[in-house]
């Protein structure tokens, strides 16, 4: 059998044409890009050849018919039962990958809440650690017998405490307190020189019961003080001492009567912690004084100098002075003028009393003398520090002025 391309029987050719070019109405023309199709011929033994178009390639994986030798000397072409197709299937449309606006808002709110929670946790941790450090620092300054368990406080209490501390005024400078003490000392010295004489006065003219408080403060007996008063050579110093005692002993919250306002004096006398023996109570007492002084500063800071009439405490102090000093007053001086001068001294002392009270530390005046020396003007000592710690020895702010019994 002679075959140009592939020879099959007419029946086989028809089948091949049916497979190669299905006749479908409306089939689009061939793509010109692919070119002109090739023609194939088939010839059987003793018959004429048959010409037909070669089948077009359906896909890259198309299997062509194969010829095999069959019985009777004929060639049989095997046609695949199925023609695989590699035509692309329908392409799926990509979906919408965007996020809805409501979801975006939800994510933003969630992030905000989480951020706020983290910030609050950090603030809580830092405030609590700071409060613990302050508590440990305070405990380290206490005596072993007064140390208790560590003090803990939440951030709210710590924040309130820090805010209150920021509102309180700073402790007064030493120079400011020294300036007030110096003015009182000079006022007393000028007052004694202006209104009292140095003539002889019998000791019987003195009411020695008025000297009991001064005797206890100086460590001298009342009779020894009386003899100093009647001695013309020591009278000026003794009168200065007595006026200073009446004025400055009332500047302490430990003494009664006091120049402090009645609202404060009744509490300050009985308030625990002022002696500094208990560290916790001393700290609370110090804080109470500072806060109370700040709250009452506007009302009582300069109250004694601004009132037209002297206060009851000032009037009582002047009356106590008159009981002892009446025998030594110069007869020709104006009594009202002398009292007005005393009111100025006592009012200035009352202002000093409020200034010392409003400080975080505690102060007292020292009138004691040693080795036969008599104090003319006392020393001002700080006995409790601004941190509520007992000072031993006390810190002097103003040195005492002393003289001997026989004279300066």
Condensed to tens digits (0 to 9), the pLDDT of residues 160-198 reads: 667 777 777 788 899 999 999 999 999 999 999 999 999
Query: Taking the CB of residue 138, how many other CB atoms lie within 10 A of it?
Result: 17
Which pTM does this prediction carry?
0.59
Element (H, E) at 39: strand 39-42
8 A C-beta contact, residue 288 and residue 392: no
Q: According to the model, what pLDDT value does residue 16 have?
A: 39
Is the CB of residue 65 less than 8 Å from the CB of residue 17?
A: no
The stretches of 141-274 forming alpha helices (DSSP H) are 155-167, 174-195, 212-218, 222-230, 232-248, 262-270
For the chain, which residues score pLDDT lower than 70?
1-99, 131-161, 255, 301-310, 404-408
d(CA 60, CA 190): 130
- pLDDT value for 308: 45
| C-alpha–C-alpha distance, residues 328 and 195, integer Å | 8
pLDDT at residue number 256: 75
**How many CA atoms lie less than 13 Å away from 321 in the CB half-sphere?**
29
Q: Identify the pLDDT of residue 298.
A: 74
Note the pLDDT of residue 319. 93
Residue 197's pLDDT is: 94
């Amino acid at each position: 059998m002679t075959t140009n391309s592939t020879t099959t029987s007419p029946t086989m050719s028809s089948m091949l044409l049916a497979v190669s070019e299905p006749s479908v109405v409306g089939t689009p023309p061939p793509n010109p890009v692919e070119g002109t199709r090739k023609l194939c011929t088939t010839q059987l033994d003793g018959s004429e050849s048959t010409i037909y178009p070669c089948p077009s390639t359906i896909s890259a994986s198309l299997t062509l018919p194969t010829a095999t030798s069959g019985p009777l000397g004929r060639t049989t072409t095997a046609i695949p039962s199925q023609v695989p197709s590699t035509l692309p299937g329908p392409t799926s449309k990509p979906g919408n990958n965007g996020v809805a606006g409501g979801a975006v808002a939800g994510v933003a709110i969630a992030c905000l809440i989480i951020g706020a929670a983290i910030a609050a946790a950090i603030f809580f941790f830092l405030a609590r650690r700071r409060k613990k450090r302050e508590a440990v620092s305070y405990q380290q300054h206490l005596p072993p017998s007064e140390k208790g368990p560590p003090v803990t406080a939440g951030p709210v209490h710590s924040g309130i405490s820090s805010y209150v501390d920021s509102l309180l005024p700073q402790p007064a400078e030493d120079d400011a307190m020294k300036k007030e003490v110096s003015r009182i000392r000079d006022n007393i010295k000028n007052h004694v020189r202006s209104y009292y004489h140095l003539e002889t006065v019998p000791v019987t003219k003195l009411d020695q019961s008025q000297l009991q408080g001064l005797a206890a403060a100086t460590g001298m007996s009342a009779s020894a003080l009386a003899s100093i008063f009647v001695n013309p050579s020591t009278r000026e110093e003794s009168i200065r001492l007595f006026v200073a005692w009446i004025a400055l002993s009332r500047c302490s919250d430990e003494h009664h009567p006091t120049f402090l306002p009645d609202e404060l004096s009744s509490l300050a006398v009985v308030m625990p912690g002022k002696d500094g023996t208990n560290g916790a109570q001393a700290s609370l007492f110090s804080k109470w004084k500072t806060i109370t002084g700040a709250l009452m500063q506007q009302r009582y800071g300069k109250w004694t100098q601004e009132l037209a009439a002297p206060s009851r405490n000032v009037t009582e102090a002047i009356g106590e002075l008159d009981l002892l000093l009446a025998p030594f007053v110069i007869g020709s001086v104006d009594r009202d003028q002398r009292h007005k001068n005393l009111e100025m001294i006592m009012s200035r002392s009352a202002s000093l009393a409020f200034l010392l009270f409003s400080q975080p530390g505690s102060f007292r005046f020292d009138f004691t003398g040693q080795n036969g020396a008599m104090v003319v003007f006392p020393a001002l000592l700080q006995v409790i520090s601004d941190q509520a710690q007992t000072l031993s020895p006390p810190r002097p702010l103003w040195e005492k002025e002393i003289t001997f019994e026989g004279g300066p």
